[in-house]
Each structure stands twice: as structure tokens, then as C-alpha cells.
């Protein structure tokens, strides 16, 4: 088993499925897509449980020379950070495909064959991003993710999706161009040191002077802040989630946007630790603005999908804050937050999509309330996902949110004080949205008499997400056991010691 190129096979499974699905009729494409995504999930689980050592470090390594003159390699590997993101990706894709089983065939959409193909292509590129250990390879697949993402947003969803897709693409390409300057800068630095190389392990061993680090940091951070997103380069987010299908929004927010915070950990902290500490005051302020601004703006939204998108701006602020407070609990909490946010927000998007299809509108005001009387299962799932979003104790986002807030108070009391206000604001936007869409003012029963509850397929897509929210809410240590060794490596790289074991309050 160890002799097999496990990660290459993992990436190839959805890629082959994508190519096959593109040339098949819709019903067959859906089955092939589900089979390919299921096979990727099984293969990732086998690789994780049979070949990954919890003691940490980069594992399942594959390294082959690609462009020798430039020091470019086809190099893959996973550590704790990469592993949890790979598992999150392969778990969400089959759920999205089942949840979107007929949605792509709606009038005005591009059909199931195209939808399935682009979803699997996005999965393959995302897996390549999370496993790449060569900076040039990372950049190539980082940009390649934009192709399926653009067609998923532009080809499927609501009126106005073309404009949203173009806005998304412009922002992402701009970030990629800025990052390209830093990628070239790393080549120059490594060449000046003796031998050009884009391998992360080689670059991490270089002694890069502080000024150069800062310029390189800016290029990487801007790209990752757009991808995450972070205030003030976030304005593509709400437009995209409002116009795209809910399945596409799950992939963009719960998988693709995690590349931003993943990159901050892998490249900003991993390769440019001095510059990361230099930039901390500014980044912390931007993270706090994202936390509060995202929550405040979400409160005033009438479009349910736009509201959910803006809540993610607040949550990504928490993730970035935990990364840049530079202590074990903060970084552990951030990585755990990446996973828990992916699970909780996926559930919220999907149940919102089911509600919107039944009511024929995404306007909370137009829904009029009363849905919980005729669709109690749907209402219950909506409430659970919403309470997870606002960090209810007993659900997994609570653990990661508390770790980040504790770390924020350790960094500076005022940072923690500002961050904790988001808990109150989250309760407002979640409970108010639930009240207006499910119960209505005074429990009105308006226009929902014939509305049906969730069917078996829809419950099946939400059940594993709710189970994960409960399981990791009460027992987060299996995830933290994978994450903590990577956090120790990051802290060693940055040269900061806070004396606390990551994830151990």
C-alpha cells in the first residue's frame, strides 16, 4: 500500500469521473459522478487510516522532477492540516451531488452532465491544492480551481448568475496575479541561495531577509485574503452565494474558500514567519472588522442565501484571527474551525435550498413563516444548522469558536472583547431568520398549506452533517489529535512558544 502513489490516485479518481460524466446523458452522469465521488471518499479514508501516522509531519510523499531548470516538481504530501481538508472535501462532494440530484436539470440550467463534470473537476483541483508540496504546482492548481468554479456559478442557478460569476472570476484572477509575483520572488530567493527550487521543504530551510519576506508575504496574503474572503476584498462573496445553486455555494464556501486560510498557514506562517508576525496588527484588525461587519450586515439581509454567505465572512474572520494571534489554541481552533464551518455551513445552505425550492422564493419576508407547522423535519434541520452557525454548546463549531476566543483574549483583552460580540450578533441573525421563515410574526400560517416536508433523499444528505456536528461537538479530540502535531510544527517554524498544548484548554 505504501508503494502506491496514494495521493495521485486520489486526485485522478474524480478527474476521470469528470471527463466521463461530461460525455454521458444526465441520469447516467449523475450515477457516474456519485460513484466517482464515493470512490474518492473511500480511497481517502483507506489512505488516512492505513498509511497516516498521527505523530505528524509531511506524509504520503510523492516527489518527481517536473521542470528541472526551474526547480519545479510534481510533489504531493499531507500533514495534519492537509489531511483534514482532504477528508472534508471528499466527504462534502457526494453529499452535494445527491442534494443537487435534479437541480441542474431545471429550466435555464446547463444540465446534469455539465454540473457533475464541473463538480468533480473542482474536487480534483481542490485535492491537488491541499496536497501540493511544491509552490509552483500549488499555484497552477490554485488557478485551475477557478475554471470549474466559474462554470458552476455562471451555468447553474438564479437570474444574474453570469454577472456574479464574472465578478468572482475577476477578484480571484487579480489575487492570483499578485500571488504570482511572490511565487517568482521565491524562485529568485532560492536561486540566489545556490539552487532554484519550489519545494516547500527546501524553501522553508532558506534564511530569507526580513524585507524580502514582507514583500513576499503581501503577495501571498492578498491572494489568500480574496480567496478566504476577508474584509475589504469580500464583496464577491454574497453575490455569488445569492445567485449560484446551493450545491455550488457549499463547494465554494466550504471547500474552495478554505484554500485561503489553508494558504495562510502553509505559506505565510510556514515560509514567511517573520513577515507574518510583522503583519499581525493589521491582519488582526482586518479579521475583527470581518467578524463584526459580516454579522451586522447579515442581520439586515432579506435574501436567505445572501445572509448565509455574509455569515461566512464573519466566520472566516474568526479563522484568520486564530491563525494570527500566534498561540497553540488559536491555530488549533482555526484549523478545527475550518472543518466545523464546512460541515455546519454546508447543512445550512442545503436546508435553505430545500426551503427555497418549496416556497419559490429566497426572500425571507415573502416566505411569511408558518413552515414549521407543515414541515417540522425541515424546520428542525434548519434550526440545528442555524444554531451550529451561532456556536451553540454541544455542536462542533462551539469548540473551535471558544478556542479562538480564548486565544484572542490571551493575545490582547480588547481583541477578545471585540470578537466575542459576534456570538450575540450571530444569535440575532440566525434566530430572526428562523422566526421570519419558519414561524412568522405571531405564528402566521401564510401560503404553506400544501408544502411538503423533507423526503428520504434530502434527509439523507443532511443526516451525516448533523451527526458530525453532534459527534465533534461532544468529542472533538479525534480531529485535534490529527491537527495538534501540525500546530506544534507551525509554532516551531514561527519561533513562538506559549506553553500550551494546542486544543487543550
Where the chain has pLDDT below 70, the residues are 1-2, 105-110, 440-450, 495-505
pLDDT score for 244: 86
User: CA–CA separation, 102 vs 99, rounded Å?
Assistant: 8
The residue ranges of DSSP E strands in 287-331, in sequence order, are none
H-helix or E-strand containing 103?
none
- Summarised one tens digit per residue, pLDDT across range 118-146 is 999 999 999 999 999 999 999 999 999 99
- Site of grid cell 465572512: 313
- Site of grid cell 471547500: 255
User: CA–CA separation, 43 vs 122, rounded Å?
Assistant: 18
- Summarised one tens digit per residue, pLDDT across range 171-219 is 999 999 999 999 999 999 988 888 888 899 888 888 888 899 999 999 9
- What does the longest C-alpha to C-alpha distance in the chain come to? 74
Give buried/exposed letters for 394-429 (b at 16+ CB in 10 A, else e): ebbbbbbbbbbbbbbbbbeeebbebbeebeebbbeb
pLDDT score for 503: 44
pLDDT score for 128: 95
Phi first, then psi, for residue 208 (nearest 5°) are -90, 130
- Summarised one tens digit per residue, pLDDT across range 432-483 is 888 888 886 544 445 666 678 888 999 999 999 999 999 999 999 999 988 9
Q: What is the dihedral of CA 430, 432, 434, 440, to 10 degrees?
A: 180
Amino acid at each position: 500500500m505504501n508503494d502506491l502513489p496514494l495521493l495521485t490516485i486520489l486526485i485522478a479518481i474524480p478527474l476521470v469521473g469528470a471527463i466521463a460524466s461530461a460525455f454521458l446523458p444526465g441520469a447516467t452522469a449523475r450515477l457516474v459522478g456519485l460513484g466517482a465521488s464515493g470512490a474518492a471518499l473511500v480511497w481517502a479514508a483507506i489512505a488516512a487510516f492505513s498509511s497516516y501516522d498521527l505523530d505528524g509531519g509531511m506524509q504520503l510523499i510523492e516527489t518527481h522532477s517536473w521542470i528541472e531548470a526551474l526547480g519545479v516538481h510534481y510533489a504531493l504530501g499531507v500533514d495534519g492540516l492537509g489531511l483534514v481538508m482532504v477528508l472534508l472535501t471528499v466527504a462534502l462532494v457526494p453529499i452535494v451531488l445527491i442534494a443537487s440530484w435534479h437541480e441542474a436539470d431545471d429550466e435555464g440550467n446547463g444540465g446534469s452532465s455539465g454540473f457533475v463534470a464541473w463538480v468533480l473537476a473542482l474536487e480534483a483541483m481542490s485535492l491537488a491544492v491541499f496536497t501540493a508540496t511544491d509552490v509552483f504546482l500549488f499555484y497552477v492548481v490554485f488557478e485551475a480551481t477557478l475554471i470549474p468554479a466559474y462554470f458552476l456559478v455562471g451555468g447553474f442557478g438564479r437570474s444574474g448568475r453570469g454577472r456574479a460569476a464574472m465578478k468572482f472570476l475577476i477578484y480571484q484572477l487579480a489575487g492570483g496575479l499578485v500571488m504570482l509575483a511572490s511565487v517568482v520572488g521565491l524562485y529568485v530567493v532560492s536561486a540566489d541561495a545556490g539552487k532554484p527550487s519550489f519545494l516547500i521543504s527546501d524553501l522553508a530551510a532558506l534564511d530569507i531577509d526580513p524585507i524580502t519576506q514582507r514583500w513576499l508575504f503581501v503577495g501571498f496574503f492578498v491572494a489568500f485574503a480574496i480567496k478566504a474572503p476577508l474584509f475589504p476584498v469580500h464583496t464577491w462573496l454574497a453575490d455569488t452565494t445569492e445567485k449560484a445553486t446551493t450545491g455550488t455555494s457549499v463547494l465554494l464556501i466550504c471547500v474552495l474558500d478554505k484554500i485561503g486560510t489553508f494558504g495562510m498557514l502553509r505559506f505565510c506562517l510556514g515560509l514567511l514567519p517573520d513577515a507574518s508576525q510583522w503583519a499581525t496588527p493589521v491582519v488582526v484588525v482586518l479579521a475583527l472588522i470581518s467578524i463584526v461587519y459580516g454579522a451586522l450586515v447579515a442581520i439586515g439581509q432579506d435574501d436567505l442565501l445572501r445572509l448565509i454567505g455574509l455569515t461566512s465572512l464573519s466566520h472566516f474572520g474568526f479563522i484568520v484571527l486564530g491563525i494570527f494571534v500566534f498561540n497553540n489554541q488559536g491555530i488549533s481552533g482555526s484549523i478545527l474551525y475550518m472543518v466545523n464551518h464546512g460541515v455546519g455551513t454546508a447543512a445550512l445552505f442545503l436546508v435553505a435550498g430545500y426551503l427555497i425550492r418549496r416556497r419559490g422564493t429566497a426572500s425571507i419576508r415573502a416566505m411569511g413563516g408558518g413552515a414549521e407547522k407543515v414541515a417540522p423535519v425541515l424546520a428542525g434541520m434548519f434550526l440545528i444548522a442555524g444554531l451550529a452557525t451561532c456556536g451553540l454548546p454541544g455542536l462542533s463549531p462551539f469548540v473551535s469558536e471558544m478556542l479562538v476566543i480564548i486565544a484572542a483574549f490571551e493575545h490582547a483583552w480588547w481583541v477578545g472583547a471585540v470578537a466575542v460580540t459576534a456570538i450575540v450578533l450571530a444569535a440575532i441573525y440566525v434566530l430572526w431568520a428562523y422566526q421570519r421563515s419558519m414561524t412568522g410574526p405571531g405564528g402566521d400560517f401564510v401560503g404553506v398549506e400544501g408544502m411538503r416536508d423533507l423526503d428520504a433523499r434530502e434527509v439523507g444528505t443532511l443526516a451525516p452533517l448533523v451527526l458530525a456536528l453532534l459527534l465533534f461537538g461532544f468529542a472533538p479530540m479525534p480531529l485535534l489529535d490529527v491537527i495538534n502535531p501540525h500546530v506544534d510544527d507551525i509554532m516551531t517554524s514561527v519561533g513562538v512558544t506559549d506553553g500550551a498544548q494546542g486544543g487543550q484548554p
